[in-house]
């Protein structure tokens, strides 16, 4: 079983592409022999394994965004919401799901004290997360340092450096590399045998990303737009990603769609390896 988030449905893409992508990712999990479990908040319930009608409801455009800081309030008022990385990790652990596929994680922004709730969640829930690194608008070096401080193993999949989200790789070296899904599953099992709470972050570079020079030029222009618009705080990430998509004439969206499908395929392979070895249950009380 593979957990999938739903903010890409509620906030990541315009209609109808958002619903098409959600269905496509679930189909990818099934193609690889797994069972998809897309999470979301529907009518004040945190649902693990949305039905197609519930996906349509979240894709309609009226849903909020559920992170850990506001999840309780959203449930209390009976809201609909897409789940972020942090909230999906919580739901996956509650449901006993060991693997989660996403695009890029949140991390450390350039603005002082602006850090994503994804980071402590990765340290709090014993789930293996497959991603393409921190979103490219973030400080990747600071994010990696923060993950180290939190005790989260960051593991390169067939790569010795941290994945760069929209670009293939950063220049940041990783201490651990695996070349098979089975090796990745073994790290989560070993963590659990030790009684560690932290999950594992599996960094999977996108197969065809933007060049570093092209991306840097796009990022500089997007930053200028954000500064001129006075955008900050929780609105910064969606504004920047939308600006990058506009400035690149859709190329960043194409890369994003490619990487999340690749991550979903890898996550399903890791989930299968965990199931085959019984690693999903190897956790001491």
DSSP 206-264: -SS-B-HHHHHHHHHHHHHHHHHHT--GGGHHHHHHHHHHHHTTTHHHHHHHHHHHHHH
Residues with a known catalytic role: 5, 135
Give, in order, the Cα–Cα distances in Å from 64 to each of 40, 54, 75, 112, 159: 10, 14, 11, 26, 36
Non-local (6+) Cβ contacts of 109 within 8 A are 115, 116, 137, 138, 139, 236
Q: At what angle do helices 251-277 and 17-31 cross, to 10 degrees?
A: 30
């Amino acid at each position: 079983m593979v957990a999938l988030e739903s903010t890409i449905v509620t906030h990541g893409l315009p209609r109808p592409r958002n619903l098409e992508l959600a269905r496509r990712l679930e189909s990818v999990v099934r193609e690889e022999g797994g069972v998809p479990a897309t999470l979301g908040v529907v009518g004040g319930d945190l649902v693990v394994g949305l039905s197609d009608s519930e996906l349509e409801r979240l894709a309609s455009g009226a849903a909020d965004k559920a992170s850990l800081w506001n999840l309780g309030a959203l449930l209390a008022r009976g809201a609909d919401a897409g789940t972020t990385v942090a909230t999906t990790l919580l739901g996956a652990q509650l449901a006993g799901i060991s693997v989660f596929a996403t695009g890029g994680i949140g991390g450390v922004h350039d603005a002082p004290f602006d850090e994503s709730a994804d980071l402590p969640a990765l340290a709090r829930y014993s789930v293996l997360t497959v991603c393409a690194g921190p979103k490219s608008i973030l400080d990747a070096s600071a994010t990696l340092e923060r993950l180290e401080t939190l005790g989260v193993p960051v593991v390169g999949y067939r790569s010795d450096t941290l994945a760069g989200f929209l670009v293939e790789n950063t220049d940041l070296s990783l201490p651990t590399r695996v070349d098979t899904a089975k090796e990745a599953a073994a790290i989560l099992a070993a963590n659990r045998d030790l009684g560690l709470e932290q999950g594992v972050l599996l960094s999977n570079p996108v197969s065809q990303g933007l060049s570093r020079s092209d991306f840097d030029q796009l990022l500089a222009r997007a930053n200028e737009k954000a500064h001129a618009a006075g955008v900050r705080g929780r609105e910064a990430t969606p504004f920047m990603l939308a600006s990058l998509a506009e400035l690149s004439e859709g190329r960043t969206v194409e890369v994003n769609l490619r990487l999340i499908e690749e991550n979903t395929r890898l996550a399903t392979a890791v989930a299968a390896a965990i199931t085959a070895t019984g690693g999903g249950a190897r956790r001491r009380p």
